[in-house]
Structure 1
Amino acid sequence: MTDPNPLLSQTDQEPKHHQYPSLDDTIEHCIGEYLGWTQLLQATLVSFAWFFDAQQVFISVFTDAEPKWSCNNNTQCNKNINLCHLPKDSWSWDFPKTTSIISEWSLECAGSVITGLPASSFFFGCLVGGFVLATLADSSLGRKKTLVLSSLVMSLTGVLTAVSSNIWVYVMLRFISGFGRATVGTCSLVLATELVGRKWRGNIGIVGFVCFTLGFLSLPFFAFLLEGSSWRLIYLWTSIPSVFYSFLVYFFVRESPRWLFVKGKKEEFAETLISIAAPNNRSSLTQSFFSRCTEWEEVTHETDIYSAMRILLMKKWASRRLAVVMVVGFGVGLIYYGMPLGLGNLSLDLYLSVTLNALSEFPASIFTYLLIGKLDRKVSVLGLCLLSGICSVACVLVRWKGVQIGLELVSFFSACTAFDVVLIFTLELFPTCVRNSAVSMVRQALVLGGVLGPVLVAAGRRRNGLLSYGVFGVTILVCGMFVVFLPETRRRKLCDTMEDEEEKVTASNNNNGVYCA
């Protein structure tokens, strides 16, 4: 009988036709069915990148907020009048000027474009970085080094941001921070899931989302402790630990074994598997393993975001799907990234409202897990977008604080859930050969919503809340309706190639047959 694992056999002769097990099967055999401590610690350490990522994404909620102010017992001063229409000596900030960039650099009367520019430049940096750095993890640097590079650029720029001398230096540094941050989440997720067996990949992926929520939650905690202190301290408290974290990943985390093998680094591939393998499997990783590793070749097709775009644009059905799902993603991203930044526009306590928004991501993840197997994707996305949009508009029309925070939380919770469902929907809409790149493009559309969100928040702060939350709500309502142009994918088989997918699309168009998506 032929040895089912000839690559790992010490004595059996090789099969005549060198039919070695697949790369997935071999890695699975070496790592083992059970999650070892080495795998768990490394995957958890990698997933913790999401913690620092969330801090830099939402830090502007506190550093760029307009501080509270009071009248100086002057008859010319009225809290209901626009601050810019009052004499300078009739009012004053409730905290020192260094509490926010708005008060320190006297931006209270600057236009919404200027005050919203720092946050917008961060997301624009994410947008540019997503295109420029998209291929590094798959090509020259690998998952680990790309994660370390991205994390270092993001955190070191955060430290430099704390010494910004004016708004323009601040904007430039926020752009660079966003540029570096663009691949942190993607590299962290991919590397963490490739360091464990397939049985544990879903659970390890959830660890990253939990770390992101914890990072979001840490911001109101830091801001509350530093209330009345300089906004620069918030950047230092969040960025310096991230610098040390980057070095921890570099020295203590192994590279993805799959990437190492695909790149021909077979000795490192073997060493990595030995270091993270289950103890009861290490005895089988002998010299025979090393020698046969050099003979084993696997056919791989590296598809980066640029070549994938050419493939997607060549097919009319694929480009149409991508365009539609990106429109939906833009509407969801506008609320997901913009709503937390606009909490200061509502008549609510900023620390409490940010904490509640961060906490709402926990039930959103649970709800997505329960929802995704029971409801159609189109119905789910459409319903969540409608609910989020209606509540977003309603929360600026009502004046009761309890109702207002309730509507805002429902809107943000719905957007968080829609965010997760849209990404899963995108995975199912495209075949394996372009799936990763299609998801990357949809994430870019989500970030584009983050670029425009801060400008709308600043406009709503100066004029009317409808310019922020109203526009958020209408946008997600309109964009969400585009989902009706997409095919349903629930309980449908996933395709691997464009040809397989196109064949099913043609069959479906001809006789309404079942296609895979």
Structure 2
Amino acid sequence: MNADQVLESLGRFGTFQVLFFLCVSFIYMRGAWPVMGILFLGGDPGHHCQVPVNESISDVIPVDSSGNYEKCQIKSLLTNQTTPCSNGWTYGDEFDSTILTEWDLVCDDNFMVDLSSTIYMVGNTFGALCLTPLSDKFGRKWVILSFLWIQGAIGIATAFSSNYIMFTVLRFFIGLLNMPIALTTYVMVTEMFPASSRSFPSVGINCSWGIGLVFLAVLGYFIRDWRTLQLVISVPNFLTVTYAWFLPESIPWLIANRKFKQAKSVAKFAAKVNRKNIPSELLVVPDQEMNEAPGAGQSQEGLLNVKVTKKYTVLDLFKTSKLRRYTLIMFYLWTADSVCYFGILFATPQLHGNQFLNIGISGIVEIPALIICMFIINRIGRKRPLIFFLLLSGIMNIITIFIPTNTDSGVDLVWLQITAAMIGKFGITGAYSLSYLYSSEIFPTVVRNHAVGLSSFFENIGGISAPFIVYATSGTLTYIPLVLFGVVMVIGGTLACFLPETHKKPLPETIEEIEYGTKKSAPVTENTHL
């Protein structure tokens, strides 16, 4: 059985593929909630030192250079000296309750919310490296579903956390499972469509992430208590219990793992839904004994005289000039895409205006970026759109620092600042999606898994760094983080100019094809008699 021929016979975008895509899109969509939920779970409604009874706030709370009340200082009326808050804090009314207000994660402890986000991202990294490979052994479907249910249970437990440490540890395990769920879902989508029509669903699945951000903004707006919100974003995981009966396993995975009867059953079901007829020769189950037995007349010496294929390692990515250049550039782009994407999202609540609206808009702008990607990558290639999106994101984020909040005449320009930042978000979304596609095409087959795996590691390093970059610059101008991310993107756009175009070119199989542009078989050692 040939997986791609079977998938082609089912049609490109039939009813089966559409229903499958919608099912896995829900899984991908709710994946945005654990990652970005901390924006509301740990939201800061504003605070200042608690004012003593019978005292006026204007008498005991000093103001800063912007005319706002100091957050962590209180003035003694006896000595007229300012001291740190000693009687607790008074919080604003934007939220009913967050982990910040419940556990007083402010002033000397104001890094704790961002630390929790970073630890979550560390969980992502370990999950990607340690748990994602389980889907190769046990199948896509059951790894996704079991991880979803375990994550849902941990998410519900998180809502009942009694302290910050318990909350953060449980969030680590939520992150540990979230990245394998997302990566395996993405792989499953690419596997269930034939090669000729794979680019649309592989890019389109990311639209559901943007929709997830919009839903999160709506949920955050209407649910201002962090425990209730945590429950609401965790319970939907259990809606996938029904998937145990009707979500199919990946046909390519079944065939690759010699589960031919199951693959045949899934293919026949898909054909029935799509009202297609699969040629019977495509469903012929190979005779395993014939595949494994020596050929007729084959001598014992012939069996022992084998070619030992060269074993490739991560180090082979750096041994030749062109591949080394491509590798280093792609590692930079994955890191830059991740740190800037998540950095922009984490910085969004610091922007002026309604933070719920800002998060919602940031999710909405992802959808047109991805739709544009889906249509242009098969027309003008990958390289030029990638450069365009990187430079667009970089330039728009940099110029935010040059846009004043108000003009000299008092005209409010906050809308223009937010617009520039959202266009930057539009650009990074397109660049991020194209980097995924580029990585699957630019590396030769013999080291592709090594390259993509290591790229994912650098992607997670960027995600880990993002919250701390936002925190480290939070005491400066609001738009400093966006400027830093913009510079990183401009550098990425410049480096992308040194990458080759991969559109309409066969996937390279060997390192020699990358270096010399000639198609050679993978090197082998001398014949070895066992």
Give the TM interval when normalised to the shorter protein.
0.7 to 0.9
Aligned to 1:84: 72
- Structure 1 or 2, whichever has the larger Rg, is 2
Map Cα deviations across residues 44-95 of structure 1 (whole Å, 9 max, x no partner): 2123211111111211121122113479642233352441123647972123
Q: Contact 1:330 / 1:479 at 8 angstroms: preserved in 2?
A: no
Distance 1:433 1:359 in 2: 39
Specify which of 223, 240, 249 is matched with residue 255 of structure 1.
249
Classify the secondary structure of the residue corresponding to 2:90: strand
Q: Does residue 158 of structure 2 align to residue 161 of structure 1? A: yes
Distance 1:331 1:198 in 2: 29
Specify which of 29, 33, 40 is matched with residue 62 of structure 1.
40
- Indicate how the Cα distance of structure 1 residues 119 and 411 shifts in structure 2: closer, same or farther if over 3 A, else same: same
Classify the secondary structure of the residue corresponding to 1:183: helix
Q: Contact 1:150 / 1:180 at 8 angstroms: preserved in 2?
A: yes
- Indicate how the Cα distance of structure 1 residues 97 and 190 shifts in structure 2: closer, same or farther if over 3 A, else same: closer
Distance 1:113 1:91 in 2: 17
Aligned to 2:390: 385
Aligned to 1:267: 261
- Indicate how the Cα distance of structure 1 residues 326 and 221 shifts in structure 2: closer, same or farther if over 3 A, else same: same
Map Cα deviations across residues 342-380 of structure 1 (whole Å, 9 max, x no partner): 122222210111111110001111232344356565554
Q: 1:208 Cα deviation (Å)? A: 2.1
Q: 1:464 Cα deviation (Å)? A: 3.7
Distance 1:371 1:261 in 2: 32
- Indicate how the Cα distance of structure 1 residues 112 and 293 shifts in structure 2: closer, same or farther if over 3 A, else same: farther
Aligned to 1:476: 489
Q: Does residue 255 of structure 2 align to residue 233 of structure 1? A: no
Specify which of 250, 266, 271 is matched with residue 277 of structure 1.
271
Computed over aligned residues only, the root mean square deviation of the Cα atoms, in angstroms, reads 3.2
Specify which of 114, 125, 129 is matched with residue 123 of structure 2.
125
Aligned to 2:434: 421
Aligned to 2:25: 47
Q: 1:497 Cα deviation (Å)? A: 3.3
Distance 2:212 2:245 in 1: 23
Letter in structure 2 aligned against 1:445:
F
- Indicate how the Cα distance of structure 1 residues 440 and 144 shifts in structure 2: closer, same or farther if over 3 A, else same: same
Letter in structure 2 aligned against 1:352:
L
- Indicate how the Cα distance of structure 1 residues 336 and 297 shifts in structure 2: closer, same or farther if over 3 A, else same: farther
Classify the secondary structure of the residue corresponding to 1:468: helix
Specify which of 308, 321, 330 is matched with residue 325 of structure 1.
330
Letter in structure 2 aligned against 1:260:
L
Identity %: 23
Q: 1:295 Cα deviation (Å)? A: 6.4
Q: Contact 1:44 / 1:192 at 8 angstroms: preserved in 2?
A: no
Structure 2: segments with no counterpart, 5+ residues: 76-84, 293-310, 406-412, 521-530
Map Cα deviations across residues 108-166 of structure 1 (whole Å, 9 max, x no partner): 1135542311111111211121111232222x111112212332343322222212222
- List aligned pairs for 1:7-46, cutoff 5 A: 22-29=2-9, 32-33=10-11, 35-46=13-24
Map Cα deviations across residues 419-441 of structure 1 (whole Å, 9 max, x no partner): 12222322331124444553343
Q: Contact 2:189 / 2:201 at 8 angstroms: preserved in 1?
A: yes
- List aligned pairs for 1:281-320, cutoff 5 A: 292=286, 294=288, 309=314, 311-313=316-318, 315=320, 317-320=322-325
Letter in structure 2 aligned against 1:84:
C
Q: Contact 1:396 / 1:470 at 8 angstroms: preserved in 2?
A: yes
Structure 1: segments with no counterpart, 5+ residues: 1-20, 299-305, 508-517
- Point out 4+ residue stretches in structure 1 off by more than 6 angstroms: none
Aligned to 2:143: 146
Structure number having the greater helix percentage: 1
Aligned to 2:214: 217
- Indicate how the Cα distance of structure 1 residues 469 and 291 shifts in structure 2: closer, same or farther if over 3 A, else same: closer
Q: 1:297 Cα deviation (Å)? A: 5.1
- Indicate how the Cα distance of structure 1 residues 249 and 310 shifts in structure 2: closer, same or farther if over 3 A, else same: farther
Distance 2:162 2:418 in 1: 36
- Indicate how the Cα distance of structure 1 residues 44 and 479 shifts in structure 2: closer, same or farther if over 3 A, else same: same
Distance 1:503 1:162 in 2: 57
Letter in structure 2 aligned against 1:387:
L
Q: Contact 1:112 / 1:455 at 8 angstroms: preserved in 2?
A: no
Aligned to 2:237: 242
Aligned to 1:5: none
Distance 2:98 2:433 in 1: 33
Q: Which moved more, 1:80-89 or 1:276-285?
A: 276-285
Distance 1:203 1:376 in 2: 14
Distance 1:49 1:476 in 2: 29
Q: 1:316 Cα deviation (Å)? A: 5.0
With the length of structure 2 as denominator, give the TM-score of the two structures: 0.79
Distance 1:412 1:242 in 2: 28
- Indicate how the Cα distance of structure 1 residues 203 and 376 shifts in structure 2: closer, same or farther if over 3 A, else same: closer
Classify the secondary structure of the residue corresponding to 2:160: coil
Aligned to 2:342: 337
Map Cα deviations across residues 173-197 of structure 1 (whole Å, 9 max, x no partner): 2211111111222221222343344
Classify the secondary structure of the residue corresponding to 1:92: strand
Distance 1:111 1:478 in 2: 34
Specify which of 167, 171, 175 is matched with residue 170 of structure 1.
167
Residue correspondences, number: 473
Distance 1:148 1:90 in 2: 44
Q: Does residue 419 of structure 2 align to residue 406 of structure 1? A: yes
